[in-house]
């Protein structure tokens, strides 16, 4: 970590990126806010890792971001490279994670409108984007979905988008046949290594089974419950104790105080197997139905935005990168406008199959 500690404010990397400040630090590396010296007032996030081997986590993340580059509604990989003692990756600068936003709002639970909107936004982030990256649609499971890995954009309408980050635990669930066609990878038998976070992982993970798309969705549901009103096992830290609490917790207790649509979602997830392609449109429909039931508005503010100045919608760097024209925002209704601004408001994205597996 000494080589990373030497990266301080003002240091220039790859003759392009000037370090502004350190945003965070972990056991393997750190994240910095950097300024692009080749573009006026352009900032980005730089992740740095001390492992320069081909098996390093950061190189896996960079590879995945390159694979996701052709897909719409994605944050972008801007640069990546090696130095003698560390490797780096530069990507779109994003905002706070969902749990940090909830703490900022200083409230015990989120309202139904916010929870259901976040349900749609994070489901899009899983199906259609796993920094919004379409990781399920390029054949990967994330294996560590939790509030800390879901972050919002920073400015204007992008502040109501959710991006899924941290790809250090991803695994491909596809493999190429001899004829070159993609096929579903057969689930590995036997005991697998634990991958994920005990509070949010599925029972399959506790039982050391192979993870599929359904396991990401169990983590998605547990995350939403935790954000909304708290999981029954939220005060436990030991994995075995958490596993016991999950296995014995009745659905009625788990979902007490949650939007009623979560009951159907829970029952549906129980029916899925490793090989099953989830019905993303069906899941979105449940969330959208609840959103309409509570008279939610896509133009409403999240709890952590209340009392802040502004509120007008803005075109963002991300929206400009998607080549949208000014006329795209001249819509007849709020719903039509919402579909143009926030992809998770449009059912078409959840019906679309990019990967037919």
Same domain, yes or no: 202 and 127: yes
Q: What is the C-alpha separation between 19 and 45, in angstroms, rounded?
A: 10
Same domain, yes or no: 84 and 116: no
Q: Residue 121 belongs to a domain with what CATH number?
A: 1.10.510.10
Residue 58 lies in a domain: yes
Give me 207's structure tokens: 């039982």
Please write the tens of the pLDDT for every residue from 233-258: 999 999 999 999 999 999 999 999 99
Same domain, yes or no: 76 and 110: no
Residue 152 lies in a domain: yes
Q: What is the C-alpha separation between 21 and 223, in angstroms, rounded?
A: 30
pLDDT for residue 238: 97
pLDDT for residue 52: 74
Which of 235, 263, 293 corresponds to the end of one domain?
293
Which of 34, 64, 92 corresponds to the end of one domain?
92
Same domain, yes or no: 40 and 102: no
Picking from 111, 162, 112, the residue whose alpha carbon sits closest to that of residue 290 is: 112
Same domain, yes or no: 29 and 49: yes
Residue 145 lies in a domain: yes
Whether residue 101 contacts residue 302, with contact meaning beta carbons closer than 8 Å, is answered with yes
Q: Residue 48 belongs to a domain with what CATH number?
A: 3.30.200.20
State the first-to-last Cα distance of the chain, in angstroms, to the nearest integer.
41
Give, for 42, the enclosing helix (H) or strand (E): none
Same domain, yes or no: 126 and 258: yes
Residue 49 lies in a domain: yes
Q: What are the helix and strand counts (H, E) for the chain? A: 13, 12
Residue 342 lies in a domain: no
Which residues of the chain carry a pLDDT beneath 50? 129-134, 310-323, 329, 331
Same domain, yes or no: 172 and 238: yes
Same domain, yes or no: 79 and 184: no
Q: What value does the CA radius of gyration of the chain take, rounded to a whole number of Å?
A: 20
pTM of the predicted model as reported, rounded to 2 decimal places: 0.86
Which of 40, 70, 92 corresponds to the end of one domain?
92
Whether residue 319 contacts residue 157, with contact meaning beta carbons closer than 8 Å, is answered with yes
Query: 79 - beta bridge partners?
Result: 90
Tell me: is residue 47 an annotated ligand-binding position.
Answer: yes
The residue written with tokens 């078409």 in the block is 348
Q: Just list the catalytic residues.
A: 144
Helices (H), the chain: 2-5, 57-68, 98-105, 112-127, 203-206, 213-228, 239-248, 251-254, 261-270, 280-293, 317-321, 334-341, 348-351
Task: Domain count for the chain, please give it.
Answer: 2
Residue 298 lies in a domain: no
Residue 237 lies in a domain: yes
Picking from 130, 143, 109, 119, the residue whose alpha carbon sits closest to that of residue 264 is: 119
The residue written with tokens 């390159």 in the block is 66
Show the domain range for 20: 15-92
């Amino acid at each position: 970590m000494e080589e990373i500690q030497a990266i301080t404010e003002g240091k220039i990397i790859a003759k392009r990126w000037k370090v502004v400040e350190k945003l965070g630090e972990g056991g393997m590396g750190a994240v910095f806010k950097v300024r692009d010296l080749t573009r006026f007032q352009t900032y980005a996030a730089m992740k740095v890792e001390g492992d320069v081997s081909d098996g390093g986590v950061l190189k896996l993340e960079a590879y995945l971001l390159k694979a996701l580059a052709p897909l719409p509604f994605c944050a972008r990989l801007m640069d990546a490279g090696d130095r003698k003692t560390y490797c780096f990756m530069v990507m779109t600068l994003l905002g706070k994670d969902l749990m940090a936003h909830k703490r900022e709002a200083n409230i015990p639970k989120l309202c139904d409108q916010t929870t259901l909107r976040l349900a749609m936004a994070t489901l899009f982030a899983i199906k259609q984007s796993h920094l919004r990256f379409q990781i399920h649609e390029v054949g990967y499971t994330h294996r560590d979905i939790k509030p800390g890995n879901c972050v919002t954009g920073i400015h204007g309408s992008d502040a109501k988008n959710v991006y899924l980050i941290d790809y250090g635990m991803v695994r491909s669930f596809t493999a190429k046949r001899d004829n070159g066609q993609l096929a579903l990878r057969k689930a590995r038998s036997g005991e697998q290594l634990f991958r994920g976070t005990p509070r949010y992982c599925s029972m399959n993970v506790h039982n050391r089974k192979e993870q599929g798309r359904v396991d990401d969705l169990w983590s998605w549901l547990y995350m939403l419950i935790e954000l909304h009103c708290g999981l029954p096992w939220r005060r436990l830290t030991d994995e075995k104790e958490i596993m016991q609490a999950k296995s014995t917790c009745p659905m009625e207790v788990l979902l007490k105080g949650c939007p009623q649509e979560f009951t159907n979602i829970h029952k549906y997830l129980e029916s899925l197997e490793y090989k099953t392609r989830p019905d993303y449109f069906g899941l979105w429909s449940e969330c959208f139905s609840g959103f309409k039931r509570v008279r939610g508005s896509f133009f409403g503010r999240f709890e952590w935005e209340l009392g802040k100045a502004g509120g007008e919608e803005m075109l963002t760097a991300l929206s400009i990168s998607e080549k949208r024209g000014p006329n795209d925002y001249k819509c007849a209704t709020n719903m039509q406008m919402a579909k143009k601004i926030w992809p998770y408001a449009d059912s078409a994205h959840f019906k679309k199959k990019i990967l037919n597996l």
